[in-house]
Amino acid sequence: MRAFAIDQLTTRVCAADFACKRDILVKMYSRASDRSLASGERLTATETIGLRIYDGSSATSEINQLVLADLFELAADENEDVRAEAIQILAGYLAGSGSVKPTLPSLAASVRQKVLSSLQTEANRNGPVSSQAGALIKILSQR
């Protein structure tokens, strides 16, 4: 039922309403980054941010910039599942084969360094998101 409600909010009720989407993003980010929640709940919130709130039709929309910034922060999360999901989503948008490539969001220097460190760790692990982490390092280094 929760998935249905989120789908309805993001595709029908808030589809063209920036403030509404931003409110959902704020709520989902607070859940995705809440270390007291179960991993599954945090993962669902991360997926909602990247796969439901993000609008793939625009490379520069304000909501997409907020989504990408939140996903970058989650790519440095301590929770392996949350971190891996954020990395996979980011790599899909920034390094995937799609024709609409978003611009990178503005990241504070401290956040950027934390993200790069986390991505380097993932790239060196030879785990399931190593190649995506490597691609994101390359993209962040170029821009």
The pLDDT tens digits of the residues spanning 98-139 come to: 777 888 888 899 999 999 999 999 999 989 999 999 999 999
User: How high does pLDDT run on average in the chain?
Assistant: 90
* pLDDT over 70 at 1, yes or no: no
* pLDDT over 80 at 13, yes or no: no
Q: How far is CA 28 from CA 61, 71, 141, in A?
A: 19, 11, 28
Cα separation, 33 vs 6, whole angstroms = 18
What CATH number did the domain enclosing 6 receive? 1.25.10
| Joined tokens for residue 44 | 């669902």
Per the structure, the count of domains in the chain is 1
pTM (whole model) above 0.85: yes
CA 29 to chain centre: 9
Q: Which 3 state secondary structure label does DSSP give 53? A: helix
**Residue 43 belongs to domain spanning:** 2-142
> What is the pLDDT averaged over residues 19-23?
90
* pLDDT over 80 at 54, yes or no: yes
